[in-house]
Amino acid sequence: MRRHDRPSGTQDPAQPARQRLSDGQVIRQLLPYLWPAGQAGIKIRVVTALLFLAAAKAANVSIPIWYKGAVDALTATGDLATNPYIVLPVGFILAYGLARVLSLAFGELRDAVFERVSQRAMRHAALNVFRHLHALSLRFHLERQTGGLSRIVERGTKAIDSLLGTALFNVLPTLLEILLVTGILWKLFDFRFAAVTFVTVAGYIWYTIAVTNWRTRIRRDMLDADSRASAKAIDTLLNYETVKYFGNERFEAERYDTALRVYENAAVRTQSSLSLLNVGQGVIIAVGVVTVMWMAAEGIVSGQLTIGDFVLVNTYLLQLYQPLNVFGFVYRGVKEALNEMERMFELLSVNQEVQDAPDARPLVCAGGEVRFDGVRFAYDPRRPILQGLDFTVPAGHTVAVVGPTGAGKSTLSRLLYRFYDTTQGRILIDGQDVRAVTQESLRAAIGIVPQDTVLFNDTIRYNIAYGWPGADQAELDRVAEAAQIATFIRGLPDGWDTMVGERGLKLSGGEKQRVAIARTLLKNPPILILDEATSALDTHTEREIQAALRDAARGRTTLVIAHRLSTVVDADEIIVMDAGRIVERGSHAVLLARGGAYAALWARQQEATLAGP
Which pLDDT band, with edges at 50, 70 and 90, does 428 fall under?
A: very high
Whether 10 has a pLDDT exceeding 50, the answer reads no
State residue 461's pLDDT score: 92
The dotted CATH code for 22-348 is: 1.20.1560.10
* Residue 613 pLDDT > 70: no
Please compute the mean of the pLDDT values over residues 369-391 and round it to a whole number.
Answer: 89
What is residue 535's predicted lDDT score, i.e. its pLDDT?
63
Look at residue 1 in the predicted model and tell me its pLDDT.
Answer: 36
pLDDT band at 392 (very low <50, low <70, confident <90, very high): very high
> 359-445+570-613 has which fold?
Rossmann fold (3.40.50)
Grouping H, G, I as helix, E, B as strand and the rest as coil, residue 296 is helix
| C-alpha triplet 320, 326, 330: angle, nearest 5° | 130
Question: How much is the pTM?
Answer: 0.65
pLDDT in tens, 110-145: 888 888 888 888 888 888 888 888 778 777 777 665
* Residue 87 reports pLDDT greater than 60: no
Listed range (54-63, 71-80, 148-157, 486-495) with the worst mean pLDDT: 71-80
Pair 130, 153: CB distance under 8 Å: yes
Domain ranges of the chain: 22-348, 359-445+570-613
Q: Is the pLDDT of residue 5 over 50?
A: no
In this prediction, residue 573 carries a pLDDT of: 92
The mean per-residue pLDDT over the stretch 448-467 comes to 87
Per the model's pLDDT, the better-predicted residue between 593 and 299 turns out to be: 593
- Average of per-residue pLDDT across 30-52: 85
Strand partners, 380: 383
The confidence score (pLDDT) of residue 537 equals 64
Q: What angle do CA 361, 365, 366 make, to 5 degrees?
A: 135
Distance CA 573, CA 393 (A): 9
Q: Is 14 a residue whose pLDDT tops 60?
A: no
Amino acid letter, 29: Q
Q: How far is CA 567 from the centre of its chain?
A: 41
- Dihedrals phi, psi of 67, to nearest 5 degrees: -65, -45
Range in 297-306, 430-439, 555-564 the model is least confident about: 297-306
Q: How far is CA 285 from CA 208, 292, 299, 422, in A?
A: 12, 11, 21, 65
Residue count of the chain, please give it: 613
Q: Does residue 12 surpass a pLDDT of 60?
A: no
Question: pLDDT tens digits, residue range 54-69?
Answer: 888 888 888 888 877 7
What is the band of 501 on the pLDDT scale with cuts at 50, 70, 90? confident
pLDDT score for 611: 59
